[in-house]
A and B are shown apart, each in its own frame.
Chain A
Amino acid sequence: MIITRKKEREALLAMLRGVRRAALVGCASCAAACQTGGEKELEETKAFLEDHGIQVLAAVLPEECCHKMLVKRDLKALRGLELDAVVCLACGDGVQTVADNVALPVYPANDTLFLGQVERVGIFHEYCRMCGDCVLGATGGICPVTRCAKGLVNGPCGGQKDGKCEVNPENDCAWILIYRRLERLGKLDSLLIPAGQRHEHAHPAHLNLREGAK
């Protein structure tokens, strides 16, 4: 899931200086689960903005705010409204998808943090950096690219102390976790599988699964 956090309210207001009439767009998927862009947050944000002199003329909640077709369909609700701006309560992807489909300035209400696991409601952990070359098969299903602070794929640095990471002692050293997991799985020989050359991928990336596409 894409993990987002609400921007500081002052920062949001600062972006919206001069805006009198706005519409809100949330996201019923990740942002709703992060308590940043669901039904409840749309209502809260509406009340907050109206308290600060910004009229909220509409609020829509696409199933997925990063899905162009769904967003296009739901944004029809804004047609004919006299709006100065749209405030989007999704991740950065959602904000851009909305901005691609309205002829208005679109402002992010959230900061987009990482791709992570929902441990339980309200507790998230970064689990994947989308490196494009997954090594989980050799690391017991624990991602060193993400969960090692240095992204080391060839084994640990010398910096762990009592199993904790040198960079942030609140974090377990990912390589100790990997070692323990592989030990339990009887797969310690995986530690010697060379990670090979890592590649930095050029951005922006695209993927086309349509027939005939390369």
Chain B
Amino acid sequence: MSTIIEFKNVDKIYNSGNHILKAMDNVNFKINKGEFVIILGPSGAGKSTLLNLLGGLDTLTSGEIIVNGNHVEKFSDNQLTGYRAKNVGFIFQFYNLIPNLTALENIELMKDIADVNINGLDVLDSVGLKDHANQFPAQLSGGEQQRVSIARAVAKQPTMLLCDEPTGALDSKTGVLILKLLQDMSNNKETTVIIVTHNAILAEAADKVIRIKNGQIESISVNDNPKKVTELEW
């Protein structure tokens, strides 16, 4: 399997005035194409920071981030925008749908930025929300919104899906549904899925588990036989 993402000696230092904080401290890891990766760690460990660096939302202090052979840390602002548009699908804890657009419009929005020919309804169907196409985010439940958000992320057929605590605001039953959806994405479409969570149980379902603490990699483990999300004991 080919390496698609690589972090090499990545440091991220937050320098807010007199207070200096090392949020990423010499982080190294590799992720293969189509892997289902779980990043675990306590609150404040640097999980979001890692995801943001990988997703091109933030810039690192030193080191290299290589995606598909490209050095993300060397990208200009414009290149970063293009990178986010084509390669990255972000899924947030609070969904971040555009409230002024219907579920369907939120998905079809992607046609404007990524050169993809998608049918919004089909994508919505794939997350089981065809019937809610013309509803606005505020008219949908949290789980439904998160599914729209996933549909939006996959609509542009990104290289990777970056999910920052996607189930954090959902009840566990709905959460499992979401996670199953994400796992299926990585299995069927060969999309690399990276999920940040502090729920250790999920580790059993991952191809690879990266544990971090205080901005450092604590351990990286590979599961040869990951369980299905639905088989886990919640």
Binding partners A and B: no
List A residues at the B interface (Cβ < 8 Å): none
Q: B residues engaging A (CB < 8 A)?
A: none
